[in-house]
Amino acid sequence: MSEISMLETICEAILKKQGRDGVIIDFHGQSILCDYFVIASGDSNRQIEALVDSVQETLEKQFPGHCRIQGTSDSGWVILDAKDVIVHIFSREMRDFFQLEKLYLQYETRAFTKDDDESVSAV
């Protein structure tokens, strides 16, 4: 299992459900917690649930046993722990409030989007 492969899988699952403002923070070799954070936002509780379900289902198919979930869509912040990659799905309000990206400005951060050919760029 490649971390980059898992990262691409997660980003694709988020983009498939129209997750917004996708960002990857690269901690590779600099943290014992994980190698990457993936952060994205949903516009509603229903979309947050869809994003979480999409990531979880995709990971279970391709990387069985690699996903634990904390939080609920009602709280506005759900964390999926996929071992080397931790995924944060926020409501816009909670993301603006916690500003998680600002805590990690010293690390490489890049946005991810879907290219014209439906592939994920920035991974």
First to last CA, the chain: 16
Q: What angle do CA 23, 26, 32 make, to 5 degrees?
A: 130
Q: Which domains does the chain have, with CATH numbers?
A: 3-116 (3.30.460.10)
Q: What is this structure's pTM? A: 0.91
The helix or strand, by DSSP H or E, that contains position 14, with its residue range, turns out to be helix 3-16
| Residue reference for tokens 């983009």 | 15
For every one of its 123 residues, what pLDDT tens digit does the chain have, with 9 covering 90 and above? Answer: 577 889 999 999 999 999 999 999 999 889 888 999 999 999 999 999 999 999 999 999 988 887 899 999 999 999 999 989 999 999 999 999 999 999 999 999 999 887 655 556 655
Pairing between β-strand 113-114 and β-strand 108-111 as defined by DSSP bridges:
unpaired
